[in-house]
Amino acid sequence: MKSGNGILSSYGTTIFEVVSGLAREHGAVNLGQGAPEGMEPADVVARAAQAILDGPNQYPPLMGTPGLRRAVAAHEKRFYGLDVDWESEVMVTSGATGALADALFGLIEEGDEIILLEPLYDSYLPIIRRAGGVPRLVRLAPPDWTLPRDRLAAAFSPCTKAILLNSPANPCGKVYTEDELDFIARLVRDHDAYAICDEVYEHLVFDGRKHIPLMTRPGMRDRCVRIASAGKIFSVTGWKIGMLVAAPDLLRPIIKAHQFLTFTVPPNFQTAVAYGLEKEDGYFTTLIQDMQARRDRLAAGLAGVGFRVLPCGGSYFLTADIGALGNADDDVAFCRRMTIEAGVAAVPVSAFHTTGEVNRFVRFCFAKSDATLTEALARLNKYFG
C-alpha cells in the first residue's frame, strides 16, 4: 500500500485532543484546552440563532459577507486607527486556523524561509512544511520569554519570506512590547519580507496594556497579514470564524488558497460576529477585566499549591514551573499524572517546542467558570498538599 503524505503523517494527534481525551477518560477538570466556559455573550448567540432561522443558509460570498467585512474594517479603525478597505483588504476564514493555512499556502514558494518564535502554536509548522517552506526557529526562554534580538536578527536571510508572530502568545502569555515590535518591523523591512501576525488574543491583554498590531508600526501596513478570531473575542471557539486583513496585493494569493481550501464559511455566524464587533466599548473592557480576574485567581491558587507561576500579559493561559513542586517528572509525565491522579488536566509546554529541553512548564487555561476553577484548585490542593 502506498502511504499518505510523509510530512503530515509524521505528526501525532494534536496535544489538545490528547489532553482532552485523557481528561474525559479520567473525569478530570480540564484546564488543558483553551475553550472558554460559559462566557458567550447571550445577545451574540441569539443573533446567530436568529440568522439561522431567517437564512440565507447558502454559500455566502467567497471573501465573507459584506456585513462582517464592513464590521471588521470598522473594528480596525476603532481599535487601532487603521484605514482598511472592506472590499479589497478583508477576508473571512474558517477560524484563525483557516486564515493561517490560507496565508501560508498563499504566500510560500518552495524553499522560502519562515521565521518562527518558540514556544509556538501547533498548527504552524506542519502547514509551513507542507507548503514547501523552511522553518527557521528562534527560541524564547522562560521565565520571562524575552525576545533574543541577536538570534532573531541572525535568523533572517535573503531567503526569508516572512516571520510568523503570535502576540499575545499562546502558550506563554507574552505580549510583545512596542520596542520589540519595532525591532521585528525593522528586520522585516530590511529583508523585504512579510509578517503573518496571529493576533487571536488581541482583546485579552491585561494590566492596562494595549494590544499593538505589528501592522500599525511604521512601514508595516502593506507587509502584514493580520489574523483575528471571533472564537476568542466572543468566547465561541466552536464557531470557527476567523478574520484576515492584508493589503490587496498581499491578500490576492491568499484568497486563491482560501478558495480551494475552504471556499466559504457559515453566513449565519458571520452575521452574529458582525453584530458582536459593533458592540459598545463596555463589552471589550468587561471581557478584559473578567479574564484578568480569572487569571489572578488561578495564579494565586496555583502559587498556593506550590507551582511557580510565570507572568502572563495576555491570552487565556498561565504557564507554571513544576520544578518548584520538587518532583522528577518531565512536563509530559507530570501532566499525565496530574490528570489521572489529581483529576486536573493541563498541557505540557514542551508540546509547543520542536525539541524537548524545555520540559519543566505546564499550561493552564483560566477562561473557566468560577465553579471549575474552584474545583480544580481544591483537587490540586488535596493532591499536592
Rounded to a whole number of angstroms, the minimum distance from the CB of residue 120 to ligand PMP is 8
Q: Is the Cβ of residue 237 or residue 305 nearer to ligand PMP in the bound state?
A: 237
Joined grid coordinates for residue 98: 483557516
Q: Is the Cβ of residue 305 or residue 345 nearer to ligand PMP in the bound state?
A: 345
Q: Is the Cβ of residue 44 or residue 305 nearer to ligand PMP in the bound state?
A: 44
Q: Quick check: helix, strand or coil at residue 222? A: coil
In what order do the strands lie in the sheet containing 347-348? 308-309, 317-321, 361-365, 347-348
Give how far Cα 13 sits from Cα of 48, 218, 264, 351, 374, Å.
31, 40, 26, 11, 30
Rounded to a whole number of angstroms, the minimum distance from the CB of residue 228 to ligand PMP is 8
Rounded to a whole number of angstroms, the minimum distance from the CB of residue 36 to ligand PMP is 11
Q: Is the Cβ of residue 64 or residue 95 nearer to ligand PMP in the bound state?
A: 95
Asked if 1 and 9 touch (Cβ cutoff 8 Å), the reply is no
Rounded to a whole number of angstroms, the minimum distance from the CB of residue 170 to ligand PMP is 4
Rounded to a whole number of angstroms, the minimum distance from the CB of residue 385 to ligand PMP is 31
Rounded to a whole number of angstroms, the minimum distance from the CB of residue 22 to ligand PMP is 18
The three-point CA angle 197-199-204 to 5° equals: 160
Q: Is the Cβ of residue 242 or residue 267 nearer to ligand PMP in the bound state?
A: 242
Rounded to a whole number of angstroms, the minimum distance from the CB of residue 200 to ligand PMP is 5
Q: Which residues bind ligand PMP (CB under 6 A)?
A: 34, 95-97, 121, 166, 170, 198, 200, 229, 231, 237, 240, 242
- What residues pair up with 320 in beta bridges, in sequence order? 309, 362
Q: Is the Cβ of residue 165 or residue 344 nearer to ligand PMP in the bound state?
A: 165
Q: Is the Cβ of residue 267 or residue 343 nearer to ligand PMP in the bound state?
A: 267
Q: Is the Cβ of residue 99 or residue 251 nearer to ligand PMP in the bound state?
A: 99
Find, among 68, 63, 72, 93, the residue nearest to 268 by Cα.
68
Catalogue the E-assigned strands of the chain.
29-30, 90-94, 113-118, 134-139, 160-166, 194-198, 224-229, 241-245, 308-309, 317-321, 344-345, 347-348, 361-365
Element (H, E) at 25: helix 15-25
Asked if 102 and 257 touch (Cβ cutoff 8 Å), the reply is yes
User: What does R_g of the chain's alpha carbons equal in angstroms?
Assistant: 20
Q: Is the Cβ of residue 196 or residue 342 nearer to ligand PMP in the bound state?
A: 196
Rounded to a whole number of angstroms, the minimum distance from the CB of residue 9 to ligand PMP is 22
- What residues pair up with 139 in beta bridges, in sequence order? 118
Strands 241-245 and 308-309: unpaired
Cell 486564515 -> residue:
99
Joined grid coordinates for residue 48: 446567530
Q: Is the Cβ of residue 103 or residue 358 nearer to ligand PMP in the bound state?
A: 103
From CA 251, how far away is CA 243, in angstroms rounded? Answer: 12
From CA 140, how far away is CA 300, in angstroms rounded? Answer: 25
Rounded to a whole number of angstroms, the minimum distance from the CB of residue 97 to ligand PMP is 3
Rounded to a whole number of angstroms, the minimum distance from the CB of residue 240 to ligand PMP is 6
Find, among 351, 279, 259, the residue nearest to 75 by Cα.
279
From CA 265, how far away is CA 247, in angstroms rounded? Answer: 21
